[in-house]
Structure 1
Amino acid sequence: MAGRLRAPTGRYGGKSAAQRQAERRRRFLDAALQLFGDTPGYRATTVAALSEAAGLSTRQFYEEFRTLEDVLAALHLQVNDWAEQAVLAAAADAGDLPLAERAAAIFRAYAADVTCDPRRVRITFVEIIGVSPRLEEQRLARRARWVDLIRAEAEAAAERGEAARRDYRLAATAFIGGVNGLLHDYSAGWVDATLDEVVDELVRQLLAVLRPPGREAG
């Protein structure tokens, strides 16, 4: 989102204005991942502290963002984008694998990406909650994208005869809620299990949702 001040134009130091702006934005987001995702957290961070951590000035901050909420919004989207890219890559690599193997590959990729950095977990599941109606709308919109991804996988499995033919909207929504809750608790150390065990449990739950009644696991 554009800031209140206009950034300088033209080339400087061999970089274009667009390149310098992208670099500044990356540095602010990197600093925000550290401060929002660790200590002191989003609510205790100031523009001055974030700018100092990024090695930039507050003027440069306002050339890129209006508020710290804008930074949190951008960071939340970035963390979700990283996870989505990992999932889509895993889904492409899984190709025509049987449902159980494909589901395991997809969720292992998601879990590995989300939990590879505790700061990402905090941004996704903690810091974004209760900030403002705008960010709540963004959080729910991103969750809806994950629901749509599960629905698409379910419908594709139904086309292959590996899943029941039905509307998976409610099931996918409930499943994504379980995924988020379990991964949050795992990352917080509240679950006495390995990441592989967590993924295996999620895959079992998904297969239980997808398979037609009476169908045995393949």
Structure 2
Amino acid sequence: MAGRLRAPTGRYAGKSAEERQAERRRRFLDAALQLFGDTPGYRGTTVAALSEAAGLSTRQFYEEFRTLEDVLAALHLQVNDWAEDAVVAAFAAARELPLAERVAAIFHAYAGNVTADPRRIRITFVEIVGVSPRMEEQRLARRARWVELICAEATAAADRGEAAPRDYRLPATAFIGSVNGLLHDWSAGWLDATLDEVVDELVRQLLGILRPVGWGPERSR
């Protein structure tokens, strides 16, 4: 997202202007992960506090971002990108496994990535909510991307005869709600369960969607 001030050009200390800009941006996002994802949270953070945590100046902040909301937006997308990368890698590694094992491997990869740092959970499920119409649109758009991913893989499984042929958009949307709710509640300490137990429950739910009671490969022919 473009800032309001013009960034410097040329090389300095062996780094190009683009490299220095990328490093500044990374430092601001790292600081935001700490402040937004822990204490004091997004709503309690100021530009001055974020700049100090990043070891940079407010002038440099405005070279990279217009507002703190721009930082939150970029951080929310980054956290989701990390989780998506983990899921895509798990898909590739588990492609030849039976459906139940494939689903389990994928969700362990997702949950492991998201819960590896409690600050990521807070960014994804807490700090982003209710900030502004713009951020709600981004949050819902990113959730829709996860729904599309599930629909695509479920439809591919159905085409291979591994799952029931159906329109998966509605059940996939409901399932994403379960994922968000369970992981949020688990991370907040509201569930007396291990992460493996939470993931196993989510796997059972998804397999129930893919293979409802009464369905069998022979019935779909």
TM-score in same-fold range (> 0.5): yes
Q: Secondary structure at the match of 1:102?
A: helix
Contact 2:25/2:64 (CA < 8 Å) preserved in 1? yes
In the TM superposition, what whole-angstrom CA distance separates every residue of 1:28-71 from its partner, at most 9, and x where no partner exists? 00000000000000001000000000000000000000000000
Partner of 2:181: 181
Deviation of 1:135 after TM superposition, in Å, equals 0.5
- Output the aligned Cα RMSD: 1.1
Partner of 1:158: 158
Q: Distance in 1 between matches of 2:125 and 2:212?
A: 32
- 2:184 corresponds to 1:191: no
Deviation of 1:215 after TM superposition, in Å, equals 3.8
Q: Distance in 2 between matches of 1:23 and 1:186?
A: 34
Partner of 1:140: 140
Partner of 2:219: none
- 2:39 corresponds to 1:39: yes
Q: Distance in 1 between matches of 2:23 and 2:7?
A: 13
In the TM superposition, what whole-angstrom CA distance separates every residue of 1:5-49 from its partner, at most 9, and x where no partner exists? 011000000000000000000000000000000000000100000
Contact 2:76/2:128 (CA < 8 Å) preserved in 1? yes
1:2-21 equivalent positions in 2, closer than 5 A: 2-21=2-21
- Structure 1 stretches of at least 4 aligned residues deviating more than 6 Å after TM superposition: none
Q: Distance in 1 between matches of 2:212 and 2:69?
A: 45
Give the unaligned 5+ runs of structure 2: 217-221
Q: Distance in 1 between matches of 2:190 and 2:94?
A: 31
Deviation of 1:95 after TM superposition, in Å, equals 1.3
Partner of 2:101: 101
Kindly tell me the number of residue pairs found equivalent between the two proteins: 217
In the TM superposition, what whole-angstrom CA distance separates every residue of 1:62-96 from its partner, at most 9, and x where no partner exists? 00000000000000000000000000000000012
In the TM superposition, what whole-angstrom CA distance separates every residue of 1:137-195 from its partner, at most 9, and x where no partner exists? 00000000000111011101101111111100000000001000000001111111111
Q: Distance in 2 between matches of 1:28 and 1:88?
A: 27
Q: Secondary structure at the match of 1:40?
A: coil
Could you tell me the percent identity over the aligned residues? 85
Give the unaligned 5+ runs of structure 1: none
Q: Distance in 1 between matches of 2:197 and 2:212?
A: 24
Partner of 1:85: 85
Partner of 1:27: 27
Q: Secondary structure at the match of 2:137?
A: helix
